[in-house]
Structure 1
Amino acid sequence: MSSSIPDERTLVLIKPDAVRRGLVGEIISRFERKGLRIDAMVARTMDVALADEHYAEHVERPFYPPLKTFMTSGPLVAMVLSGDQVIEVVRGLIGATDGRKAAAGTIRGDLSLSNRENLVHASDSTDSAKRELALWFPELS
């Protein structure tokens, strides 16, 4: 099953709430069962400078300070996933941003009751994937 179209790559962050709740394996297994590949993975803590770069478009918004506090509150897992239409596939797997409204069967729909502490971040477009991958995994650019 070879294709002339190269697989896409996307950034996925398993957020501090998921790490604290012991959900890392559950979340990774959902991506693996779907057939996506993990090209790189690292556990680390997001510092304030990286938070400001990662969320550059939100820094001036009123919801950003508590988001920054949450995202820098403890370890997270950053991953590079690849596969056919991986950005769209991952976003479908994780579900709507608000875990209270996300569909059953999605990661957030099954495991989250929050809008901010919603377990997972995933790039939302090819452009944001390129920008975020360069921030988190510069050695792959």
Structure 2
Amino acid sequence: MMSKERTFVMVKPDGVQRGLIGEIIGRFEDRGLKLVGGKFMQIDRDLAEEHYGEHEDKPFFDDLVEFITAGPVMAMVWEGQDATQQVRTMMGETDPAESAPGTIRGDFGLDLGRNVIHGSDTEPGSNGREIELFFDDEELLDYERIDEAWLYED
């Protein structure tokens, strides 16, 4: 049985500007994932640099920070069995040109630097680190969806 977990997802400024927040939320809800936290926000430079800290020594770091701070984002926490891998699969490859049709990036992304969405990777601890950067504990809700009994076997 897969483990129930929480994962961080962010609709990036290009996705917000293109009006894709509702479409993306709908896809995750249709999949059976549960939204347990959401925040429409403007990321400041300090948060952006901390969020993308693992890329600090790479030549594209400044471009990442400039882009993610250029407009509002929709930060979210989703919960479900094997949520991180489900989200990664639904997002598609980082480069939209390599993403399959039916994935979020395959359907909406056109450029590597404008790929609509971010999700935590599968590295241990990545989810927790990103969730803690964007959300306080009291901003995340525990509740049961009425369809959970129909989504998962015991």
Common topology (TM > 0.5): yes
Q: Which residue does the alignment assign to 1:132?
A: 130
Q: Which residue does the alignment assign to 2:62?
A: 65
Unaligned stretches of 5+ in structure 1? none
CA drift of 1:6 comes to 5.8
CA drift of 1:100 comes to 1.4
1:16 aligns with 2:16: no
Equivalent pairs, count: 138
Identity %: 44
Paired residue type of 1:94: M
Q: Which residue does the alignment assign to 1:41?
A: 38
CA drift of 1:138 comes to 2.5
Paired residue type of 1:21: R
C-alpha separation in 2, matches of 1:10 and 1:40: 10
Written as runs of structure 1 = structure 2, the 5 A alignment for 1:106-125 is 106-125=103-122
Unaligned stretches of 5+ in structure 2? 141-154
State the secondary structure of the residue aligned to 1:124: coil
Q: Is the 8 A contact 2:36 2:77 kept in 1?
A: yes
Query: Pairwise CA RMSD of aligned residues?
Result: 1.5
Residue 94 of structure 2, aligned match among 89, 92, 97:
97
State the secondary structure of the residue aligned to 1:100: helix
- Output the TM-score relative to the length of structure 2: 0.85
Paired residue type of 2:6: R
- Output the TM-score relative to the length of structure 1: 0.93
Residue 31 of structure 1, aligned match among 19, 28, 31:
28
Spell out structure 1 runs of 4+ moving beyond 3 A.
Answer: none
**Partner deviation per Cα, 1:11-39 (whole Å, 9 max, x = no partner):** 00000000000111111100000000000
C-alpha separation in 1, matches of 2:85 and 2:125: 13
Structure number, greater radius of gyration: 2
**Partner deviation per Cα, 1:61-110 (whole Å, 9 max, x = no partner):** 10111111110000000000000000000000000001111111100001
State the secondary structure of the residue aligned to 2:96: coil
C-alpha separation in 2, matches of 1:53 and 1:84: 28
